[in-house]
Structures are given as structure tokens and as C-alpha cells.
Structure 1
Amino acid sequence: MTVPSVTELCVLKALWKRQPLSTREIHDAVASELGWTLSSTRKTVERMLEKGMVSQAMAHGVQIYSPVLEKVGTLAAFARDFGQRVMELEAPLPVAMFTGSKLVDASELAELEQMLNDWPDEEGAK
């Protein structure tokens, strides 16, 4: 599973909340968090399109974008990567750390917990 960068995750979160969005709408949603210019947002979205993280369509003469990466799976990959690389944990992060998140609802939280617990070991994935 693709692990987005922090800035890519910010864009994905905006798209998961409301999609599809134009570049301007994405920029308006992330500008306060990232402090970017519109051209920086546009460039990031273009790179995400090249990586297959978002899809592009045309509506009313404007390019619009939707997430290709599924929310719960992406969050699980991001959490797993953070736990292993940053925190040097061998076991999955406890799902309790996601409780109260505005990003996931109760059913998504249960799915996230299952994904984290069932994640294949690095050696088992080879």
C-alpha cells in the first residue's frame, strides 16, 4: 500500500471529506494547514495524479480530482509506517490512539483496527 507524504495526506483528507474537488477547492481546504500558494497545491495534486493517488475528470470546464487511495487502508499504512519507522515499534499501534478522530467513524475505526492487527509481517510479505 502506498504511504503518502504528510502533505499528500493533507490533500487526501480534504478529498475524503468532500469529493470531487477542483485544485482551487483543494487549495482552500488545505491552505491554512500548509500555508501554501495555489501553485504549490497544483503541483502537489499533479504529482499525486502521476503517482495514482488521485484521479482527474472534467466537470463544467474545470479539472476535478477524487481520491484513488481508500481512506482506511491508507490510514492503516500511514500508521503502520509511523509506528515502525518513527517509533520503532514491532507491534501495531493501538487503535485507541485514533479514538475521537474527526476523520474516521466507528465502523471505519473497527476496520482500521482489523487492518492494523492483520498487517502482514515484513518478512511474510516477501
Structure 2
Amino acid sequence: MTTPSVTELSLLKCLWKEQPLSAREIHERVVAELDWSYSSTRKTLDRMLEKGMVAQQALHGVNVYSATLEKVATLAAFAHDFGKRVMEMDAPLPVNMFTGSKLVDQGELAALEQLLQDWPEGKE
């Protein structure tokens, strides 16, 4: 799986909460976090489309985007990378680290824990 950049993750998080959205709608939801121009949002969406991270379709004459990367698997990849590369841990991060997250519900939290526990060593 292609691991998104931090800015790509911001756009994905927006889409995981609500999709499909137009580029303008996405931009309005992330501008405070990313502090960048609409053209930067468009360029990032274009790159994400090329990478297969998002899908695009026309809806009422407007191009809208949907995430194609699955939320829990993407978050597991980020958590695994953080634990291994940043924290230099060989064991998976404890799932209670994610308790209270506004991004995942209880079912997703359980799936995330399972993915982190079962993470194959060659899947880096």
C-alpha cells in the first residue's frame, strides 16, 4: 500500500468523514489545518488521483472525490511506521494510544488493534 504524505492524509481524513466532496469543499475543510491555497489542494488531489488514493467522478456537473484507501489499514500503516521508525519499537503500539480519537469508532479501533498485532515484518 502506498503510504500517504502528511498533507495527503489530511485530505483523506476529510474524505473519510464525508464523501464524495468537490475540491472546493475539501479545501474549505482543510485550509485552517494546512494553511495553503486552493491550487495546492487541487494539485495534491491530482497527485492522489494518479497514485490511486482517491477516485474522481462527475456529480451534477462537478468533479467530486472519494477516498479509495481504506481508513483502518492506512492508519495501521502510519502507526506501524511511527512505532518502528520514530519510536524504534519492535512491538506494536498499544491500541489504548488511539482511545479518544475522533477519527475511529470502537469497531475500527478493534480492527486497528488486530492489524497492528498481525502486521507482517515484510510489509514495510
TM-score for both structures, normalised by structure 2: 0.97
Q: Does 1:107 align with 2:107?
A: yes
Give distance in 2, aligned partners of 1:30 and 1:51: 20
Q: Secondary structure at the match of 1:65?
A: strand
Give distance in 2, aligned partners of 1:56 and 1:82: 30
Q: 1:104 offset after TM fit, Å?
A: 0.2
Give distance in 2, aligned partners of 1:84 and 1:45: 29
After superposition, the CA RMSD in angstroms is 1.2
Give distance in 2, aligned partners of 1:81 and 1:16: 21
Give distance in 2, aligned partners of 1:46 and 1:2: 15
Q: 1:2 offset after TM fit, Å?
A: 2.0
8 Å contact 1:2–1:77 — kept in the other structure?
no
Give distance in 2, aligned partners of 1:2 and 1:51: 8
> Unpaired segments of 5 or more residues in structure 1?
none
Give distance in 2, aligned partners of 1:84 and 1:33: 26
8 Å contact 1:55–1:68 — kept in the other structure?
yes
Give distance in 1, aligned partners of 2:53 and 2:83: 22
Offset from partner CA, 1:14-52 (integer Å, 9 cap, x none): 000000000000001100000010000000000000000
Q: 1:82 offset after TM fit, Å?
A: 1.3
- What amino acid is the match of 1:90? D
Q: Could you list the runs of 4 or more consecutive aligned residues of structure 1 that deviate by over 4 angstroms after TM superposition? A: none
Q: Secondary structure at the match of 2:78?
A: helix
State how 1:1-126 maps to structure 2 within 5 Å: 1-122=1-122
